[in-house]
Amino acid sequence: MESELFGHERGAFTGAQAARKGRFELAGRGSLFLDEIAEMSPTLQVKILRVLQERSFERVGGSETLQAHARIVAATHRDLEQQIQLGRFREDLFYRLHVVPIQIPPLRSRGEDILLLAEQALLNLEEIGLGHIRMGDGVQQALLSYRWPGNVRELHNLMERLVVMHAGSTVQLRDLPAKMLTPGAQALSVELAADTEDGLRDLMQLMAEPPESVLPAQGIDLRSYLERIERSLIKQALGVSGHVIAHAASKLGLRRTTLVEKIKKYGLRDDSGGIEIS
């Protein structure tokens, strides 16, 4: 991290075959964003403090003092005053950073913004060629009711998962993670599931006759895209077959040995950390 921020000289450490500018140097007179500032080590905190106080630094392995003109914007999800009391964050660095504090409310407090952010995430995924989905009964309410401990990152990850697993179809409550469903929503999910075919069969049918995808202007990593779909299907097949390889292979139309190799390739494991091969 020190080399990333301050740069290094040639030979400063193993692998440093050429001098390299750090983020402070590259930022020039612009702005430098330091995310999760509370996770920095005590040693690095001291170096950041010096930059803020003296507006100067040296590259790793160097002796020339360079000037730092960039404006620093820092962010963290932790309570820094609490971290100070615990001895994990420097008080002097805190007051150097705490010039114009901005409190951003957690996603769970953003109300209808959750749906707007989800919609934007889906549009972005469609633009890169991953496909699109529609939201079925109760799904939007489930998104609004969930507490989102991972905030926007968790929301984006969920949208990507749903697009990969259900591209071109309507997402139902049963397709959401169980932790997102209230008891009432879980009951509705079970009722809806009883009226439809098995989710894996639906997805495999969809993949057999996929909707026409649009190639984005900037292109796409086709191999990565197809591997993501394959991994998702294998994971679902293992889930509905109780991680019994023979049963999962039958659902996917693969030879047992071929499926074992793909499980190893994608690092798929059950909740206990292993897979049942039979």
| Rounded average pLDDT over 250-276 | 76
The HSE-up count of residue 79 (CA atoms within 13 Å, CB side) is: 4
CATH number for the domain including 276?
A: 1.10.10.60
> When comparing pLDDT for 201 and 153, which is higher?
153
Q: Is the pLDDT of residue 219 over 60?
A: yes
42/110 same-domain check = no
203 within a domain of the structure (yes/no): no
Domain boundary among 97, 129, 146: 97
Banded pLDDT at 189 (limits 50, 70, 90) = very low
Give me the pLDDT at residue 132, please.
87
Confidence check: pLDDT of 60 > 70: yes
Indicate whether 28 belongs to any domain: yes
Tell me, what CATH number does 187's domain have? 1.10.8.60
Query: Pick from 77, 97, 117: which residue ends a domain?
Result: 97
In a domain, 125, yes or no: yes
- For residue 206, being part of any structural domain is answered with no
Yes or no: say if 28 and 69 are a contact pair by the CB < 8 Å rule: yes
Q: Where are the beta strands (DSSP E) in 140-269?
A: 170-171
Residues 114 and 36 placed together within one structural domain of the fold: no
User: For 159-185, what is each residue's pLDDT tens digit?
Assistant: 999 998 888 888 999 899 988 886 554
Spatial contact of 162 and 133, defined as CB atoms under 8 Å apart: yes
Q: Would residue 210 count as lying in a domain?
A: no
User: What's the distance, Cα to Cα, between the start and end of the chain in Å?
Assistant: 46
At position 67, the amino acid (one-letter code) is: Q
118 and 148 in a single domain? The answer is: yes
Domain boundary among 97, 128, 163: 97
Domain count, the chain: 3
Residue 75's pLDDT band, with cuts at 50, 70 and 90, is very high
Q: Do 20 and 68 fall within a single domain?
A: yes
* pLDDT tens by residue, 191-202: 444 444 445 555
The pLDDT of residue 36 is 92
Instruction: Report helix, strand or coil for 41.
Output: coil
Q: Is residue 204 part of a domain?
A: no
Residue 193 sits in the same domain as residue 229: no
| Shared domain check, 6 and 93 | yes
Write down the pLDDT at residue 22. 86
* Distance (Å, whole) CA 6 – CA 204: 50
> How much is the pLDDT for 214?
59
**Is 205 inside a domain boundary?**
no
DSSP letters of 60-129? BT---EEE--PEEEE--SS-HHHHHHTTSS-HHHHHHHTTS--PPPPGGGSTTHHHHHHHHHHHHHHHTT
The boundaries of the domain holding residue 191 are 106-197
Question: What's the mean per-residue pLDDT of the chain?
Answer: 83
Over residues 100-105, the mean pLDDT reads 90
Closest CA to 168 of 125, 114, 230: 125
148 in the same domain as 181: yes
Please indicate, yes or no, whether residues 174 and 230 belong to a single structural domain of this protein.
Answer: no
Residue 152 forms part of a structural domain = yes
pLDDT > 80? residue 65: yes
Q: Is the pLDDT of residue 276 over 60?
A: no
The one-character DSSP state at 244 is: B
